[in-house]
Structure 1
């Protein structure tokens, strides 16, 4: 089981690192083109915006997995373990409900661009709206269509050619990231139920840094004395 988790970690970390690296490369290339060659990479800005969105949305679920989100636990540390566990379950329950709402909204927004039926129901899905009109012909503003994605023209655009990539491609991160978020909060809930954790997320990086700084200052004062 540990091997599977490590492999999953590497996949997510590689995707996040690749997005950050590509953002840097594209932005740097556009700056070089503008100031050295008096030119411009037309699609660079839009691609960078999309990659930043992917980075944030995928990183949010990964941060839940790694307990990297900041949390305030001043009150949690004051209560007894049973109360602490109940508070943790309440917190993760609220996060699950919220992430499920986000998942529904994200899927419904993306589905029409992918020629898929959005869900019915105001808050939670009650079925699929098979009569909804698809919008697979919608393209992004600047990023040109590439040959490996031409097969999407038959799937989404009734065989018509795309000049730019369809919006279904960059927007797919919306339902995927929200599904990952639901999965991570479910994992957190199971950890709290099983007693492996007593709270949702609480990062103590700042506290650790302060303790290290105090320890270093104490050593310096001791050396001077």
Structure 2
């Protein structure tokens, strides 16, 4: 499980770097065509939107893998060790439920609906924009299961990054 997590971390971080680089290039091109050439590029604006959405969703999954998501630490820090472990397990299970219901189930439904719509500038199905939801939801669930595994194995609360 550790090796799968390391591989997934590397893949997600690489994808995020590539998407961020592409986003910078696309937005720069959009600014150049809009303000210097006075002829805005339609494809770069829409492609930047796709890159941004995918970057945010994959970035969120990567943050879950680093255990860097938001939480109220001072409450957990004031708890005894066993209660802290129980609260972390509850948080991980809650995140799994949210990811399964909203990101995976809702994402699949939204993707199916949007698959019949075509984007104006790129002429590709809008479903590609929403397809990242179930994918990132699956990654987040994997990371939560991994965190539960680490808590059960070490019998210690997770280190908060």
Report the TM-score range of the alignment, normalised by the length of the smaller protein.
0.7 to 0.9
Q: TM-score, normalised by structure 2?
A: 0.87
Deviations 1:5-61 (A, max 9, x none): 443322211110111111110111111122222211112222111111111111111
Q: List aligned pairs for 1:149-168, cutoff 5 A.
A: 164-168=123-127
Runs of 4+ in structure 1 deviating by more than 6 angstroms, as ranges, are: none
The 8 Å contact of residues 16 and 55 in structure 1, kept in 2 or not, is answered as yes
Partner of 1:184: 143
The 8 Å contact of residues 33 and 40 in structure 2, kept in 1 or not, is answered as yes
Structure 1: 5+ residue stretches without partners: 115-135, 144-163, 204-225
Partner of 1:202: 160
Q: List aligned pairs for 1:49-198, cutoff 5 A.
A: 49-102=49-102, 103-114=104-115, 136=116, 138-143=117-122, 164-195=123-154, 197-198=156-157
Aligned partners of 1:52 and 1:183: how far apart in 2?
23
Aligned partners of 1:7 and 1:92: how far apart in 2?
21
Q: Name which one, 1 or 2, has greater alpha-carbon Rg.
A: 1
Could you tell which deviates more after superposition, 1-10 or 96-105?
Answer: 1-10
Task: Give the structure with the higher percent strand.
Answer: 1
Alignment RMSD, CA only?
2.1
What count of residue pairs does the alignment treat as equivalent? 160
Aligned partners of 2:144 and 2:4: how far apart in 1?
19
Task: Give the structure with the higher percent helix.
Answer: 2
Aligned partners of 1:46 and 1:141: how far apart in 2?
9
Aligned partners of 1:85 and 1:2: how far apart in 2?
20
SS at match of 1:70: coil
Structure 2: 5+ residue stretches without partners: none
Q: TM-score, normalised by structure 1?
A: 0.64
Aligned partners of 2:147 and 2:83: how far apart in 1?
17
The 8 Å contact of residues 111 and 131 in structure 2, kept in 1 or not, is answered as yes
The 8 Å contact of residues 61 and 180 in structure 1, kept in 2 or not, is answered as yes
